[in-house]
Amino acid sequence: MNTQELAELERAMGQCWDIAQRFGIDPFPTHFDVVPATIMYEFGAYGLPGRFSHWTHGRAYQQIKTMYDYGLSRIYELVINANPAYAFLLENNSVLQNKLVVAHVLGHSDFFKHNAYFAPTSRQMLETVGVHAERLRRYEYEHGPEKVEEFLDAVLSIQEHIDPFPDMRRKENAAPDKPQKPHETAYDDLFYLGSEKRPEPAPVSRKNPPEPEKDLLLFIAANARELEDWQRDAIHMVHDEQLYFVPQMQTKIMNEGWAAYWHLRILRELDLTQDEYVQFAELHANVLAPSKRSINPYYVGLKIWEDIERRWDAPTAEEREKLGRRGGEGKAKIFEVRAQENDASFIRNYLTKDLVEELDLYLYKQENGKWVIVEKDWEKIRDMLVRSMTNFGQPYIVVEDGDYNRNHELYLRHCYEGQDLDVDYAERTLRYVYRLWGRTVHLETVMDDKQVVLTYDGDRARTRVGEAVKS
């Protein structure tokens, strides 16, 4: 983009902002940086600029860049959830393309600011990851790059297993606690002197964790015996960075749909030439193209948002009567949904039968070397989608016991909900968990309707098949 184009874009950005305000969306102040493709792909691969070095980032970078070099796909936009928000524009995009990206980014930024799941995220993550990278570099200097890399490999292999809302759960768990006896003093036992029935002190549970713990990273950082300080620090770094990414994983469809919804409406308001309008339509259609073997979050998200708006604007007679919808509340409703829901609830609550048919959604499976559609029933499709979004698509794994066999072994349990684990991967991941924990590790799961415990003791992997589980 040359200076003239930059000036035009800057003008359009101001207009986009004003239009957005008029529509009632309220983004963080947003700074845009125009960058070359390589930088865009690097940031895409790392998730955040300035993040720590690791070969998996290098691999992601190579993959994204290869796709771009072969013209197979390109990233148009990258926006960082921060206050002020920080977004990147591709240098070799046309002005129109970048106008669309600006409008799209304002949608994301509004979502970051107002969606409940983003409320606990740090808005200074850019600075934080820079500090983390710096510290890890120092650890590399002190302990050797191989050692740090090996350890990071292990941490990253279970990085998804954190608990984004620990307070919520702790409160729930705390509720059934017995109320403490009032006035317990050191002299209480005097009351029972000479009497036979002196109450037994309540047995103290020594179980660690007292309740199943979802946050593997924090549990290991706090309880693994052999870790050095820098290693515990590295676990915390990965944990904190992951906390930042979780809400984005939880709201992919909503967030992209929301941004698509607004880029469409903002660009319609801009004063575009006919040529630009054609470019815009083409780009928009590209972004929304459905995919045979996955769900395009832009498309599905946008359709659901528009459907919600329509149904609350013009409810049917039945909806008016039974649900008390007055009509004309479409905008209010989508802003409310934007503030409160995540993908799982969004799909559960708003993916209707009509929508499933209109979007032509289906479930497919591998049969005899082919991918075959096996399900068109809308409720089954919806439920499968919701399941695949629960715990942002990751298996739900908890620490059951940090002192299993009274031997400080780690016992993990996969909370089975009908989907089997990839055994090969599970076994290999367990080796990494062992590297962190330093003693024998177990993972309980269900396979082919049988309870199975995988074990790795640092030397051998074992599999114990237990009883059949009722499904």
Partner 1 sequence: MLQHTVSLSKQDWSLHRKGPIDQARHNQKVKEAIKRNLADIVSEESIITSDGSKVVKIPIRSLDLPHFRYDTRRNQQPGQGTGGSKVGDVIGQSGDPQGQGPGKGPGAGEMPGIDYYEAEITIDELAALVFEDLGLPNLEDKGKAEVVSPDVRFNEIRKHGPMSNLDKRRTLLENLRRNARDGHAVVGGVQNDDLRFKTWVEDVRQETNAVVIAMRDVSGSMGEFEKYITRSFYFWMVRFLRTKYDHVQIVFITHHTEAKEVDEDAFFNLGESGGTKVSSAYQLALDIVNDRYPPALWNIYPFHFSDGDNWGEVDNQRCLDIVRQLLTMCNIFGYGEIQEGGRRSISTLMSAFQHIDDPKFLGVTITSKEDVFPALRRFFSTREAVPA
Min separation Cβ 5 and partner 1, Å: 10
Residue closer to partner 1 (CB basis): 61 or 120: 61
Query: Site mask, partner 1, residues 60-79, x = CB under 8 A?
Result: -xx--x--------------
Closer CB to partner 1, residue 274 or residue 368? Answer: 368
- How far is it, in rounded angstroms, from Cα 92 to Cα 79? 18
Listed residue (449, 437, 428) closest to 399, CA to CA:
437
Q: Pick from 388, 403, 415, 451 the residue near partner 1 by CB under 8 A.
A: 388
Question: How far apart are CB 274 and partner 1 at their closest, in Å?
Answer: 26
Q: Which of 19, 47, 48, 54 binds partner 1 (CB under 8 A)?
A: 54
- At closest approach, how far in Å is the CB of 4 from partner 1? 13
Binds partner 1 (CB under 8 A): choice among 116, 281, 332, 363: 363
Report whether 427 contacts 452 (CB < 8 A): no
280 contacts partner 1 (rule: CB under 8 A): no
Residue 255 parent element (H or E): helix 252-269
Convert residues 25-44 into a mask of x (bound to partner 1 by CB under 8 A) and - (unbound): ----xxxxxxxx-xx-xx--
In the set 219, 244, 411, 432, which binds partner 1 (CB under 8 A)? 432
Of the candidates 153, 211, 269, 319, which one interacts with partner 1 according to CB under 8 A? 153
* Between 122 and 390, CB nearer to partner 1: 390
Answer yes or no: are the C-beta atoms of 211 and 166 closer than 8 Å. Answer: no
| Residue 243 tokens, joined | 């906390």
Assess contact for 437 and 220: CB atoms under 8 A.
Answer: yes
Q: Considering the rule CB under 8 A, would residue 386 count as an interface residue with partner 1?
A: no
Which residue of 326, 370, 406, 460 would you call a contact of partner 1, by CB under 8 A? 370
DSSP one-letter string for 168-208: HHHHHHHTTPPPPPTT--TTGGGGGTT-S-PPPPPPPP--S
Of 33 and 313, CB closest to partner 1: 33
Among 180, 185, 273, 368, binds partner 1 (CB under 8 A): 368
What is the dihedral sign for C-alpha 419, 425, 431, 437? Answer: negative
Residue 89 vs 283, nearer CB to partner 1 = 89
| Cβ-based nearer residue to partner 1, 290 or 466 | 290
Binds partner 1 by CB under 8 A, chosen from 119, 168, 423, 465: 423
Q: Does 10 bind partner 1 (CB under 8 A)?
A: yes
DSSP 109-142: HHHHHH-GGGTTS-TTHHHHHHHHHHHHHHHHHH
List all residues 6 or more positions away from 216 whose beta carbon is below 8 Å from its beta carbon.
158, 161, 162, 397, 399, 412, 433
Which tokens go with 16?
């986009």
57 in contact with partner 1 (CB under 8 A): yes
User: Applying CB under 8 A, which part among 123-131, 199-207, 313-321, 366-374 lies near partner 1?
Assistant: 366-374
In whole angstroms, give the CA distance from residue 441 to residue 430. 7
Of residues 40 and 224, the one with the C-beta less far from partner 1 = 40
Between the alpha carbon of residue 306 and those of residues 25, 178, 318, 357, the distances in Å are 16, 49, 20, 15
Q: Please count the residues of this chain forming the interface with partner 1, following the rule CB under 8 A.
A: 90
Would you call 96 exposed, middle or buried from its count of C-beta atoms within 10 A (0-12, 13-18, 19+)? buried
CB 127 within 8 A of CB 49: no
Q: Give whichever of 116 and 423 is closer to partner 1, judged by the CB atom.
A: 423
Q: Is 124 in the site for partner 1 (CB under 8 A)?
A: no
Residue 46 sits in the site that holds partner 1 (CB under 8 A): yes
Which positions from 328 through 357 interact with partner 1, judged by CB under 8 A? none
* Residues listed for the chain: 471
Rg of the chain over Cα atoms, rounded to whole angstroms, equals 26
For partner 1, the binding residues in 289-328 under the rule CB under 8 A are: 290-296, 299-300
Query: Does the protein bind partner 1 through residue 450 (CB under 8 A)?
Result: no
Residue (9 or 218) nearer to partner 1, CB: 9
**Burial label, 333 (beta-carbon count in 10 A; 0-12, 13-18, 19+):** middle
Burial of 193 (0-12, 13-18, 19+ CB in 10 A): exposed
Cα of 137 vs its chain's centroid, Å:
27
Residues 395-414 close enough to bind partner 1 by CB under 8 A: 395, 397, 414
CB of 346 to partner 1, least distance (A): 15
Q: How far is the CB of 46 from partner 1 (least distance, A)?
A: 8
Among 75, 156, 222, 270, binds partner 1 (CB under 8 A): 156
- Residue 70 or 191: the one with the smaller Cβ distance to partner 1 is 70
Q: How far is the CB of 361 from partner 1 (least distance, A)?
A: 6
Q: Quick check: 100 and 267 in contact, CB under 8 A?
A: yes
How many Å apart are CA 2 and CA 91, to the nearest integer? 9
From candidates 172, 375, 379, 457, binder to partner 1 by CB under 8 A: 375
